[in-house]
Chains A and B, each alone.
Chain A
Amino acid sequence: MADKSDKQVMSSGKVVAKLSLLTVGMFGFGFLLVPIYSVICELTGLNGKTGGRYQYQQAQVAVDESREVTVQFLASNNAGMAWEFRPMQHQVTLHPGELTEVKFYARNPTAQRMIAQAVPSVAPARSVDYLHKTECFCFTQQALDAGEAVEMPLIFFIDRDLPEDVSKLTLSYTLFDVTQNFAGKSQALSVN
């Protein structure tokens, strides 16, 4: 805004058009914050959000026998979720690079068919990038009929580059009831 620019004033109409454009742009930017946030989450491990399916290739990863890491599993129900939900192993100790499978148990004790979504979260958050899941029940929704039980697999490994001072990771799943979101739809959709 140099003092000299005074002489070339725009018409009010042009100013309004320009500023309206800015307004619309900023409205769009508000929505753009959603994907930007996802990217930042992925980069920084904000909130302990884990990534999607990891393409595991045996050749890429060698097991680091010199280190042991403990991975702890937690299962929580969101309020209003009636399912029984727990890890079948509460913690495992493994070497970085070692592919490991654990199972979670879920049972629908109600009289209706229900659909659930498990939401993963990792602590400490900075270790998120080093936990790779090749198979997880959280990648899709789980539908269970009344009284039905299921053992759900989780296959993962810990990256060799996990920071030295992290010796224990907590992987937590919260189970949400999403039945209503799929009312009238025959098939569950994948979110991750």
Chain B
Amino acid sequence: MLPTIKNTLNKLCSSVALAALAALLPALSLAAEVNMPQGVTSVSRATYKLHMDIIWICVAIAVVVYGVLFYSLIRYRKSKGAVPATFSHSTLVEIIWTSIPFLILVGMAIPSTRVLTQIYDTSNAELDIKITGYQWRWQYSYINGDGEDVTFFSNLSTPREQIGSLFDPSVPEGSFAEKGEHYLLEVDEPLVIPVNTKVRFLLTSADVIHSWWMPQFALKRDAIPGFINEAWVNVEETGTYRGQCTELCGQLHGFMPIVVEVKERADFDAWLAEKQAAAAAAAELTNQEWTMEQLVAEGQTVYTTFCVACHQVNGQGLPPAFPPLTGSVVTTGPIEEHINVVLNGRPGTAMAAFGALLTPVQLAGVITYERNALGNSVGDLVTPIEILQAQQAGQ
């Protein structure tokens, strides 16, 4: 009788153990997938190695500590009739378990110092890019001897329908769109850098503190208003990499992703030339004739990128911090004041001065849009050239 029970118990135990193991294995492989990425730079690989080394050291210590702990819990149970020993002190043991961890720490500190020194060496970069954090988008400026010749904003491009109706009450319930593959990690214009090139980033912010993080580069650095921070990267593989802002920066902190495209040098040069040409072409556009329809169409794009976060898709705003635009004094009153507010901002409020951020075409578009959409129908418009004149005249 007894051996049978023991046998059954043994079988039961082993099958339970097997089942647990079977359940654990996919969990472990899943865990491996979501470990820190090895990344595509020498720094990211060195960081990954530090990370794994320290994990294995911790595992080794854990095995010893938990081993003794669980041995004691099983072996010295009162229910098993264990009699307590009376020792309560040993200087020798204390010295041993103070000095061994200390030596392990010294062993960890040496490679960490080496990697840190490497991370801090920003010298001899071939390309400088200024990264400016805004609530809630990134701006990238390519700097060379002639100045910041290419500058653009990089905005979240995930359609609002994918995010959900609560994000914006004007999105009708049930109009959810299927979430895309790169949900919340996609932008309208990515940062583009050449492969195998040391690129130096100069980070700053125009409002609150942001933090620029690209896990595949092991690069995270704060963007602080008024100050510049330095970082560098030398990516060894072309491709598209995705990251996010990691410093709480206000309501849309979770919605300012970072996308970096790493291209071959020739492709990068072509891209840069194209960007420069596009900037020149955009300047030309200012002098064109613009119809109401064209301006409203242009303005809608600008509005959904720069204005919706606060003033909402339907123009209702989020009072009291963000006033509604539908039927407001500014958007339905004299156009001069409307231009003034958009160009120069409202000091002391969240309303930024967009005159320094957007092109005349974008400004004319968004002002015209706000007056003739969002439930407003004033019927007037402002042309890009008038915006330019207003800026030059000291509007």
Contact = CB atoms under 8 A, between A and B. Distances in A.
Interface of A: 47-49, 72, 74, 76-87, 90-91, 108-111, 119, 121-125, 146-148, 165-168, 170, 172, 174, 176-177, 179-180
Contact of B229 (A78, A109, A123): A123
Contacts of A77: 206, 353, 356
Contacts of B207: 78-79
Grouping DSSP codes into helix (H, G, I), strand (E, B) and loop, the A interface class, with mixed when no group exceeds half, is mixed
B392 interface: yes
Most buried by B among A82, A119, A124, A167: A82
B392 A109 contact: yes
B154 interface: no
A109 B344 contact: yes
B202 A47 contact: no
Given A47-B224, A76-B204, A82 B230 contact: no
B282 to A, nearest CB: 17
B230 A81 contact: no
Interface of B: 122-125, 128, 130, 132, 134-135, 143-148, 202, 204, 206-207, 224-230, 340, 343-348, 351-353, 355-356, 391-395
Contacts of B204: 76, 121, 172, 174
A42 to B, nearest CB: 14
Given A121-B226, A121-B228, A147-B393, A170 B202 contact: yes
Contact of A123 (B202, B206, B226): B202
A119 B353 CA distance: 19
A38 B131 CA distance: 26
A146 B227 CA distance: 28
Given A79-B353, A172-B204, A176-B226, A72 B348 contact: no
A79 B134 contact: yes
B308 to A, nearest CB: 17
A177 B355 CA distance: 14
B124 A179 contact: no
Contacts of A179: 347
Contacts of B124: 167
Given A80-B345, A90-B145, A177-B347, A109 B228 contact: no
B140 to A, nearest CB: 13
B202 A172 contact: yes
B123 A81 contact: no
Contact of A109 (B134, B144, B226, B395): B395
Most buried by B among A79, A90, A170: A79
A47 B224 CA distance: 9
B202 A74 contact: yes
A109 B394 contact: yes
Most buried by B among A85, A125, A174: A174
A180 B346 CA distance: 12
Contacts of A125: 230
B394 A111 contact: yes
A82 B356 contact: yes
A146 B280 CA distance: 28
A80 B202 contact: no
A111 to B, nearest CB: 6
B227 A76 contact: no
A146 B391 CA distance: 11
6 contacts: A48-B227, A90-B145, A111-B395, A124-B230, A167-B124, A176-B226
A72 B143 contact: yes
A47 B343 contact: no
B339 to A, nearest CB: 10
6 pairs of A and B residues whose beta carbons are closest in the complex: A147-B394, A82-B353, A90-B147, A82-B344, A79-B206, A123-B230
